[in-house]
Amino acid sequence: MAYGRRATTAVACAVVAAITLAGCGGGGGDKKADDKPSASASAAKNTPGAEGSSPSATPTQVLAQIKGEQDIEVTINSAIRDSDGFVTVQGAVTNNGTDTFDADAWVGNETALAPSGASVAGAVLVDEAGKKRYYVLRDTEGKCLCTMKLLGIEPKETRPFFAQFPSPPESTTSVEFELPTMPPAKISISEG
């Protein structure tokens, strides 16, 4: 009789272990090295910095590429107008040079933006047709609503960035993106 109970207990334990293992498999977990990155991870690493983790079958869009001093390249992947009246520009900064790059000059000359430090706080959207300039938004502490701490970008390194602006009128679908020390670039605004 003791042998029968032990056998039943062993079978029950094996069933519970099998069910537990089956429930643990098939999803989630750590990403394997051979998994393909999502579109947003690809954007953050290779081209511009869209944030998020939804996979996408379409390749990362490039609205503009700007090449400036020290072989720094800025790629803009999106400029999306949301229903709350903001335009968010996302992209990436790539250091194609041989020296480490700090984006100190991109904060602009305005002293109120100094708390933002090395950032894209000096970026501007220019609506030429409407004859208006749109500056990066700020929080209550005067820091930009943009990527900060753009310091120590090593040669061949790419970092994502974003900057949020007040939205031009809905009739404005094309603006010029300007960043201190870099040439301007025409970009299209899409609806979010």
Report the distance separating Cα 41 and Cα 34, nearest Å. Answer: 14
Asked if the model's pLDDT at residue 147 lies above 70, the reply is yes
Contacts 24+ apart (CB under 8 A), 174-178: 175/79, 175/125, 175/126, 175/127, 175/128, 175/134, 176/125, 176/126, 176/128, 177/64, 177/66, 177/76, 177/79, 177/89, 177/123, 177/124, 177/125, 178/123, 178/124, 178/125, 178/126
What does the DSSP assignment read for 48-114?
---------SSPPP-SEEEE-GGGEEEEEEEEEE-TTSEEEEEEEEEE-SSS-B--GGGG-S-GGGG
Looking at residue 112, its pLDDT comes to 81
pLDDT in tens, 20-76: 333 444 444 443 344 433 333 333 333 333 333 333 444 589 999 999 989 999 999
Residue ranges per structural domain of the chain: 39-191
Average pLDDT, integer, range 157-184: 95
- Give me the CATH code for the 39-191 domain, please: 2.60.40
Residue of 176 and 111 predicted with greater confidence: 176
Residue of 139 and 32 predicted with greater confidence: 139
Q: Does pTM surpass 0.75?
A: no
What average pLDDT does the structure give for the chain? 77
Report the distance separating Cα 98 and Cα 125, nearest Å. Answer: 30
Residue of 154 and 110 predicted with greater confidence: 154
Average pLDDT, integer, range 120-147: 94
Query: Other CB atoms closer than 10 Å to residue 133's CB: what's the count?
Result: 15
